A and B are shown apart, each in its own frame.
Chain A
Amino acid sequence: MKETVIEVKNLKKIYGKKSERQYEALKSVSFDVMNGEFVGIMGASGSGKTTLLNMLATFDKPTSGSVKIQNEEVAKLKGNSLADFRASKIGFIFQDFNLLENLTAAENIALPLSLQGVSAKKIDSIIVKVASEIGIFDLLKKYPGELSGGQKQRVACARALVHKPAILFGDEPTGALDSKSARELLELMTEVNEKMGTSILMVTHDAFSASFCKRIIFIKDGKIERELVKSESQSRSNFYQEVLDLLGTFEQ
């Protein structure tokens, strides 16, 4: 039996104060993400996908509705408990890496653990383990400035995973990468999902990236428009084609 990791119910987000012209970015969105899933959220710019992600990742608060991560109501968190929640339950890969450029790769990866008060010895052994899994062991002593985009994103990925979060969020993680690095990163994420069993939710507008997911939720004008599930037997390139076809009908 699989548990739900994320439970989204009637989520709404309205921008602008009451006196001003308001803009409804999300209109009552509901869906669940089960443990171990690899879910993609697709949509054109302005569709509300980033708004959705920001609320899921606790960076923004919904106007109404609820987001539960491992049965905890996220919107109610504030101050320290919010920070602690982020630090322990959430991993995040950003489009622009968001690595701290004055720390080495190892130090960047160690940060979530340091925050949780893990002992220095333990930190070292965990980093070595994660880094070898992700294939960045050789890069540990380097500074972000000395790494390529793909390498940076792998480090960011390691940082997002090191504290074993309940869910890994990705915000266009391949957006700033060349096609080869992008493919490598997506393969890495698939591996993380399959071998480590980490649940992943990724926002993208790129059909190729989305084709790595097991399930894709399409958003248009703040509403869920469609959902695609990849069947067990389906190959990735076949799924990719299906996504492209669907997108084609979407635009019309």
Chain B
Amino acid sequence: MLQKLALNGVRNRWKDYLVLFSGLVISSSIFYLFETLSTNGKYLKANGSVVSAIGYVFTFGSILLMLITFVYINYANNFLLSMRQRDYGLFMMLGARKKKIGQLIWLETMIIGFMSTIMGIIVGIILSTGMQNIVIKALGLTAKFYEPIWWKAILWTLVLYLGLFFLAAIYNAFLMTRKPALKLLKSQQKIARKQLSMPLQILQALLGLVLLSVGYWVIMNPMKYGVKTIPISLFTIAFGTFFVFNSIVTVGISFLRKTSLAKRKLNGFTLGQLEFRIHDYTKILTGVTMLLALALGAITTGIGFNNITEKTADSQSAYTFALFQPTTKQKALMKQLKIEKKAKYAYKVVGNIVYFDETQFASQPFETVKFNSKDFTSSYTKLSVKQLKQNIYDLQEFTTSTQPNAKVLIIDSKAFQKVQSTTQSALFFRAKDTYSAQGVFSQISRIEFAKSKEKDHAKAIQGNYDAKIYIVKPLYAGLEFMGIFLGIGFLAMLASCLMFKILSGAFADVKRYEMLEKLGVRKTLLRGAIAKEIAILFILPAILGVAHVLVGLNLFKGMLINPYYGIWVPFSIFAVLYLGYYLLVFLMYQRIVLKRKG
């Protein structure tokens, strides 16, 4: 009978269960995604060789994610409890035995946990396959040795999630059977308002700011602190954030309540809600801020690696290609490109020497490139014949393709004509919009390789754009994949955490909103109040998180040349995703709180 009642309870609130269930599925699938990376040693070794710290980053990330998962399941479980305790209180009132109740809640928690974990792994496999495809297609890179179905990841996800659910189930059963029935029935009516004394708040505010500035300073000077930079800054920034939320934000809210702004429409109510909640929220807001910083940082650096691939390839030389004796096919292909600069030089080959005519370099000066790492632009300088003779390597780099190990000599017109060999022609050009033209480049390059006497592909196309992509790309591809992957994972996780925390408070709000409705508050105003309240809970961590990222990116200066370049791209991607989560939480909250018509 009780089982039937319990099942009925689930059926009546299946939408709320859907929220819980889908959240858990998201969480476990993200964990699975992460584990497919971090437990895949081969992948890490193949892609992480560029950065020695990569293993360290992943162990660290794994531990962090586990902690988050722990917190997350705790919130999800609270959400479940807040949904269920009234029902169970009622059963107890009806005379159900405590042992029976304990068994029921244990079973319910375990079933939810088991089902969501299995679903999560399935979704995780689908996600990781999709992710791999998207990343490969969108960025044109391959993540070597990456396996979407990875048994180690499956195992770890199962172990962690089922373990945590087992603990949660025991905790729930314990809690439900220990609390008197009356308390369960009225559990939603208790409220707490903790107010710290003013000096203590000021102390916390100061401490928070000091910790934050110490953290920021350490990040700005990574050379000084070496390996210790990350632990020190993480510790100081995390605690700094916590104290800031715990003091400055609460003081700010209670200050706002005293202004006349609080007496406009429902502002007073919203601020009151926030002030009562903020202490309860400081921990989660801190966690969310840190995660947000990590997620945004990961995406930014990931995309930064993509920029750098592109730009390093562009900035290696002043010419995209040098074609020796261009074929008609190559010339036809060139018509598809936007040519910015073109130069044609005659050359002759005798034995091991390639001869050029110096007058041609006087009329069409050879160019070199200078790369500006600040704004990622390249500037080109024309070389005089004398300068070119001194920097002959810039030219020699290209001739390797037609004449391996050849010496380049630039001689005057008369001498050039005397060289006993057929006159050949070399076409140097620089194309615009290189990124989108990669397909055409690889076709041109293939023909050039076919003509070349050099057997090694990389050497044959040396100096050309395609070669640079060919060499540079694999270096960064793995890192880029990891960054984007991690970023999205962290984001999904943090937003889900925040979502559950907010939603588990929603049940307590049902009565308040009902009351307001009875007082004659318009529906639109109620909706506006909900929107504002949730928005503030989303914006606070976003502000601090973004600040953390902007400072934290400094750490990547060594790797990314200029980590701030093109930063708006990841930031806007992130903003869109974050906004999506906000809207989702807003809609769900509204559905819980304003379900009645009228």
Contacts and interface: CB of A to CB of B under 8 A. Distances in A.
Interface of A: 57, 59, 79-80, 82-88, 90, 92, 98, 100-103, 107, 110-115, 117-121, 123, 143, 145, 159
A72 to B, nearest CB: 14
Contacts of A82: 598
B518 A59 contact: yes
A114 B265 CA distance: 5
A111 B271 CA distance: 13
A114 B263 contact: yes
Interface string B212-232: 000000000000000000000
Contacts of A92: 518-519
A209 B129 CA distance: 72
A114 B266 contact: yes
B273 interface: yes
Interface residues of B, number: 29
A115 B265 contact: yes
Interface string B511-536: 01001111111111100000000000
Contacts of B137: none
A102 B272 contact: yes
Given A100-B272, A103-B272, A145-B193, A123 B263 contact: yes
15 contacts: A57-B518, A79-B523, A83-B521, A83-B525, A85-B520, A86-B520, A92-B519, A100-B269, A102-B273, A102-B275, A102-B276, A102-B512, A111-B516, A115-B519, A143-B193
B265 A117 contact: yes
Contacts, number: 87
A103 B269 contact: yes
Contact of B268 (A59, A83, A103, A159): A103
Q: Is the interface of A mostly helix, strand, loop or mixed?
A: helix
B193 A115 contact: no
Nearest to A163: B520
Interface in B240-282: 257, 260, 262-269, 272-273, 275-276
Contacts of A88: 520
> Which of B266, B276, B519 has most chain A Cβ within 10 Å?
B519
A230 to B, nearest CB: 30
B518 A110 contact: no
B191 interface: yes
A124 to B, nearest CB: 8
A111 B268 CA distance: 8
B265 A107 contact: no
Contacts of B519: 86-87, 92, 111-112, 115, 159
Contacts of A107: 257, 262, 268-269, 272
Contacts of B267: 114
A98 B520 contact: no
